[in-house]
Every structure is written in structure tokens, then in C-alpha cells.
Amino acid sequence: MKILVTGGLGYIGSHVVVELQNEGFEVVIIDNLSNSSIDVLKGITAITKKQPIFEKLDLRDKALVIDFFNSHQDISGIIHFAASKAVGESVEKPLLYYENNLNPLIYILQELQYKASSYFIFSSSCTVYGQSDALPITESAPIKQAESPYGNTKQIGEEIIRDTCKASANINAIALRYFNPIGAHDSIKIGELPIGTPQNLVPFITQTAIGKREELSVFGNDYPTEDGTCIRDYIHVVDLAKAHVSALKRLIEGNNTQNFEVFNIGTGKGYSVLEVINAFEDVSGKTLNYKIVGRREGDVIAAYADTTKANSILGWKAKLSLKEALSAAWKWENK
Ligand code: UD1
């Protein structure tokens, strides 16, 4: 089966391409290289011994999207990653985020309407829950007003898919709400490549440990948690990638009970920022230079997944530990 992976040279997309190829799927990648490198294609090929088809294409151009689907009529499934993901940037450039994250989604769904059947996986985020009143967070937790335009694009994206699926029974879709993806492939041939200063915790830790950054700022130690720092559910990117294959297979095998379903994808365990730092110091043998600073605007106190639905219905479970993920991230930074 031929599967289109948009944004397939990005951090999560590239790991998903590897898992799809390992499972025997034929993969076509579309990427505009705006936040990725063509070298990632070499990494994927080296790991899987198979080069995916690649087209450099900007999905914001509707005519190009139409052309693409006309010339690739044998695509059965789409995993849609292509989007912008920097929270702070989205506050400064909201229209860029609405354009990047929503127009391509609409253009792709418009093409899928005409197909006899299609499978669609959407890259969503736990950010849709905001600060959930109950922990761990289940899929039925209320969706809170988004904290940023980025978060809003994930909420609106899910709504667009939900409405489209209601109107088009031929489209079967799943949105995966990721918690905090970290780490790299154990071959260390692909990993996260942040452009500029990383905004996320783990790349900032590894860049500090290797000397690219002087010091890590820990955003707040006065939260109502055990050690005062925020709690997140950090999931190894390879575990996360495998969840996409499980979701796709559910659709292909016709096991879905509705034509739009959502699943939390996390480990179910929450770790504080200081716990992550300690675990990193353990696996790397380095002492991390960090200081406690004020809170970062928009941060929730604690977010970790109830993964019961994904475990029981998708038959998927995260297997790798925080330390395994941090160790892979550290090897990747060294490489
Ligand atoms: C962030 C986004 C979220 C997005 C996710 C994946 C925000 C508010 N949320 O999640 O919408 O889906 O990335 O890209 O930006 N921390 C530090 N120092 C740092 C960096 C982070 O202490 O230099 C702390 C944060 O306060 C937080 C934790 O580390 O408690 C994780 O932060 P981060 O990796 O940015 O992820 P989220 O904020 O959970």
C-alpha cells in the first residue's frame, strides 16, 4: 500500500516513515524543506535500506495539491505532519500559522472527498486540553480555549476533520494527540534538528550539555507539584512513530467504530523538569548547568496521558523509558 507522509522529513515524520517502511508500506514523502533537511532522506534510506519517493512541494499551493493527487491516484493513506509548531512564533505570526496549518489540511481533505476510500491520520497535540482539571488526561477531557494560535490550529484542524468525516463516509480518520515527543532513532541516523534556539526542554538540555548553550533556564519552581517544576509526559519518538502504524492499520483493517476517532499518545507517566534533568545527568554522566527562572507564559502545571484507549483499542503501548529516550537524544546531539 502506498502511503503519503506530508512533512515526512521532519522530526516525527521521518521516524514514522522508517516504521512504515519497516512494515512494508511504500512511502511517498512531501516536504517543502522549510524546517527540515534533505539529508534526512539519506538517514531514512540508510536505516530501512529503501529510499522513499520524495517530492519537494508546498502544500499551501492548492493547484499543486490537486496535481499531486491526480498523478498519484494509487495513494491509499495519508499521514499529515506538514505544519509549523513553534508556540511563540505563532503568537507573533498568527496568520502564517493559520495558513500553514489549515490550508493544506483543507486542500488534502478536498481531494480525499473524491476518492472511493481513504485513510487519514492527523498530527494533533495534548495542547488541545490546556490545563486539564483531571489527571491523567483522558480523550473525553474538555477542550479548553487554546493558549496560542498554534494550539488553536490543532483544535480547528480536528474540527475540520470531524465535520468532513460526518459529510464524507468514504474518509476514515484518526487524530493522534501527542504528549511530549523526545529522543531519536536508536541508529542515531535521524533525530530532532531544531533550527535556531530550541524552545523545547530536551533539545535545550542536550545543547547545553554539549556546550552550544551556556545554561538551561528552568521555567519556574513554584508550581504546586512535588518539586515545584512542571510535569509532562515525555514519549520516545520511536514509540510515538509506532502508534501511527497501529492507527493506520486500524483504519485499513476496518476496525474503527467511527470514521473519526481520537487517541492520546503518551506514556501515561509524568516527570517534572528537575526529574528530567536528573535522569539526563545520569545517562550522560554530565552535570548540567541550569538555573531557576520565572515561569514561562502559557505553561500548564501538569499534563500526562491516560493511555487506556490507545492501549486497549489500538493495541499500542509505549515501551521505551525516559532514560532510553534521553540517552538517544544525547547520542544524537553528540553526532
Ligand atoms: C510545547 C508546546 C506545545 C507543543 C509541544 C511540542 C508550549 C506552551 N507548549 O509543549 O503546545 O505541542 O511543545 O512542540 O510551548 N522548560 C524549561 N526550560 C526550557 C524549555 C522548557 O524549563 O528551556 C520546561 C517547560 O516550562 C515545561 C517543560 O520544560 O514545563 C516542557 O517544555 P517544552 O519541551 O517546551 O514542551 P511543552 O511546553 O509541554
CA of 200 to the centre of ligand 1 (A): 5
Q: What span, in angstroms and rounded, lies between the C-alpha atoms of 79 and 16?
A: 9
Work out which ligand 1 atom sits closest to the CA atom of 298.
8
Q: Which residues of the chain have pLDDT under 50?
A: none
Q: Assign 278 to helix, strand or coil.
A: helix
Q: Which three cell numbers stand for residue 183?
A: 529522543
**Protein residues with CB under 6 Å of any ligand 1 atom:** 85, 87, 125, 127, 151, 180, 199-201, 204, 216-219, 230, 232, 273, 296, 298-299
Q: Assign 185 to helix, strand or coil.
A: coil
Q: Which three cell numbers stand for residue 324?
A: 532510553
The domains found in the chain, sorted by start residue, are 2-182+234-266 (3.40.50.720)
CA of 184 to the centre of ligand 1 (A): 18
Q: What span, in angstroms and rounded, lies between the C-alpha atoms of 174 and 120?
A: 6
Residue closest by Cα to atom 30 of ligand 1: 230
CA of 24 to the centre of ligand 1 (A): 34
- pLDDT for res 147: 87
Q: Which three cell numbers stand for residue 292?
A: 531557576
What are the C-alpha distances in Å from 188 to residues 31, 170, 274, 327, 329?
A: 21, 39, 26, 11, 9
CA of 199 to the centre of ligand 1 (A): 7
Contact indicator for 299, 232 with CB cutoff of 8 Å: no
Helix residue spans in the chain (DSSP H): 11-22, 39-48, 62-71, 87-92, 94-112, 149-167, 201-210, 237-252, 273-284, 308-309, 322-334
- 58-67 residue pLDDT tens: 999 999 999 9
Cβ neighbours of 156 (radius 10 Å):
16
Length in residues, the chain: 335
- pLDDT for res 10: 98
Contact indicator for 129, 141 with CB cutoff of 8 Å: yes
Catalytic position from the list 150, 178, 223, 304: 150
Strand 271-272 with 231-232, pairing: antiparallel
To test ligand 1's pocket by mutation, which of 123, 145, 232 has the most ligand atoms within 8 angstroms of CB? Answer: 232
CA-based angle 36:6:193, to the nearest 5? 20
User: Which residues are CB-contacts of 175 (< 8 A; sequence separation ≥ 6)?
Assistant: 121, 122, 124, 157, 158, 161, 260, 261, 262, 263
Residue closest by Cα to atom 18 of ligand 1: 218
Residue/partner pairs of 47-51 with CB below 8 Å, 24 or more apart: 47/18, 47/185, 47/187, 47/189, 47/190, 48/17, 48/18, 48/21, 48/22, 50/21
CA of 56 to the centre of ligand 1 (A): 30
Work out which ligand 1 atom sits closest to the CA atom of 178.
12
- pLDDT for res 46: 98
| 150 assigned to active site | yes
Residue closest by Cα to atom 11 of ligand 1: 127
Q: What span, in angstroms and rounded, lies between the C-alpha atoms of 77 and 83?
A: 18
Q: What span, in angstroms and rounded, lies between the C-alpha atoms of 151 and 149?
A: 5
* Phi-psi group of 228: left, alpha or beta (phi > 0 → left; psi -120 to 50 → alpha; rest → beta): left
What are the C-alpha distances in Å from 212 to residues 26, 207, 293?
A: 38, 5, 20
